[in-house]
Amino acid sequence: MEPDTAPPRVDPAAIERIASLRRERDAVILAHSYQPPEIQDLADFVGDSLELSRAAAATPHRTVVLCGVRFMAETAYILAPEKTILMPAPDAGCPLAGCMTPEDLVAMQESFPGALPVVYVNSGVELKALAYSCCTSANAAAVVEAVPADEIIFGPDRNLGLFVERRTRKRMRIFPGSCPPHARLTAGDIALARASWPDAEVLVHPETPPECWDAADHVLGTGGMIARVAASGASRFIVGTEEGMCYRLGRLFPGREFRTAGSIHCPNMKKTTPGLVASALESMETAVRFDESLRAAAHASVMRMASIG
Ligand code: 13P
């Protein structure tokens, strides 16, 4: 079986426009590890969702081009409202983030009045604004442990909630949302991939179903996967997360081989193109902004996460 090494789609004219516009606009380009190869290649920084929001807040540049999906750009704006946060593909939503509404959370709070809500960053700003704390896949269990309540309302991702439930004594009340590409992965897909690469280490994201965690060697967010590969002596890895991660790992670890288990493809992550990055910098019209009281409320729950993990 061949490793996953999709080549970048080259667009020299767009790359040239970006090179002059990024100086003109005082811009930094941040990309998630699920972005297409050509976007990862032109970015100043590639990272997981937590690292991207930290980078947006820490950068001295006035303009941040966030190559990812909408909740990532919203989180960057929550942390850095004084900067212009551009989304090159403004229609790049996240079905997981959209599946739990503020009304869903309020209904759960009515059913479980003693519980405190922890909301995955893969969520809308309105939901974050109602949460006690946010979390990412990298720190979900630590955040839940630190929340001062024995009962936790968790959403939108059911699989991440179940993953946390295995690692805490807290009573978890979990919303049944999911990331469609991750939720489709099966233990059978992993068994098939292992059959062709029996010497490989298997890493899966906690958004995959529990049967996949049991079939894997490690369950990690995308940042954790990079740390694991760095620490591991293995030369081949089967990766149970979005296919863009294999390109990222291949760039970081040129001597090793990576392939996905099954097919995990996020169409929204693939909407960003170099041409759209150039157009966003040219027009400055795709900035993410929202009402200050909403931002401030969401900021409180993002900062609570930051103080924990
Ligand atoms: P990470 O937080 O591991 O980067 O994952 C982001 C994501 O969107 C998973 O679907």
- Asked whether 35 lines ligand 1 (CB < 6 A), one says no
Distance CA 115, CA 105 (A): 11
Q: What's at 65, amino acid-wise?
A: V
* DSSP state letters, 238-277: EEES-THHHHHHHHH-TTSEEEESS----TTGGG--HHHH
CA distances from 199 to 202, 217, 261 (A): 10, 12, 14
Question: Do residue 220 and residue 231 come from a single domain?
Answer: yes
Question: Do residue 217 and residue 279 come from a single domain?
Answer: no
Residues 206-265: tens digit of each pLDDT: 999 999 999 999 999 999 999 999 999 999 999 999 999 999 999 999 999 999 999 999
Separation of CA 206 and ligand 1 centre (Å): 9
pLDDT-above-90 percentage for the chain: 93
Half-sphere exposure of 9 (CA within 13 A, CB side): 8
- Per-residue pLDDT, 32: 98
* Statement: residue 309 has pLDDT above 70: no
Question: Do residue 195 and residue 144 come from a single domain?
Answer: no
Number of domains in the chain: 3
Question: Do residue 65 and residue 112 come from a single domain?
Answer: no
- Exposure string for 173-183, b = 16+ CB within 10 A, e = fewer: bbbebbbebbb
Question: Do residue 194 and residue 161 come from a single domain?
Answer: no
Residues 140-165: tens digit of each pLDDT: 999 999 999 999 999 999 999 999 99
Residue 53 contacts residue 72 (beta carbons within 8 Å): yes
- Asked whether 157 lines ligand 1 (CB < 6 A), one says no
Question: What token pair was written down for 177?
Answer: 């949302």
pTM, two decimals, is 0.94
> What CATH code is carried by the domain that includes residue 122?
3.40.50.10800
Tell whether 29 is covered by a domain: yes
Question: Do residue 101 and residue 170 come from a single domain?
Answer: yes
- Per-residue pLDDT, 9: 81
Instruction: Share the mean pLDDT of the chain.
Output: 95
Task: Give the mutation target among 54, 71, 122 for probing the ligand 1 site: most ligand atoms within 8 A of CB.
Answer: 122
Domain boundary among 121, 155, 178: 178
Nearest ligand 1 atom, CA 51: 4
Separation of CA 20 and ligand 1 centre (Å): 31
Residues 83-94: tens digit of each pLDDT: 999 999 999 999
- Per-residue pLDDT, 306: 86
Quote the DSSP letter at residue 167: T
Question: Do residue 169 and residue 188 come from a single domain?
Answer: no
Domain boundary among 178, 200, 227: 178
Domain boundary among 152, 178, 204: 178
* Statement: residue 2 has pLDDT above 70: no
Confidence of residue 5 (pLDDT cuts 50, 70, 90): low
Question: Do residue 198 and residue 258 come from a single domain?
Answer: yes
Tell whether 32 is covered by a domain: yes
Question: According to the 3-state scheme, what is the secondary structure of 201-238?
Answer: EEEECCCCCHHHHHHCCEECCHHHHHHHHHHCCCCEEE
Tell whether 103 is covered by a domain: yes
Residue numbers of the domain that contains 119: 96-178
* Statement: residue 1 has pLDDT above 70: no
Mean pLDDT of 31-47: 97
Question: Do residue 168 and residue 204 come from a single domain?
Answer: no
Question: Do residue 185 and residue 259 come from a single domain?
Answer: yes
- Per-residue pLDDT, 45: 98
- Exposure string for 277-309, b = 16+ CB within 10 A, e = fewer: bbbbbeeeebbbeeeeeebebbbbbbebbbebb
- Asked whether 137 lines ligand 1 (CB < 6 A), one says yes
More confident position, 117 or 50: 117
- Per-residue pLDDT, 164: 98
Q: What's the Rg (C-alpha) of the chain?
A: 19
Tell whether 75 is covered by a domain: yes
Residues 51-67: tens digit of each pLDDT: 998 999 999 999 999 99
Query: Closest residue (by CA) to atom 8 of ligand 1?
Result: 122
137: nearest Cα among 269, 217, 241: 241
* Statement: residue 7 has pLDDT above 80: no
Dihedral of the alpha carbons of 234, 239, 240, 246, in degrees to the nearest 10: 160
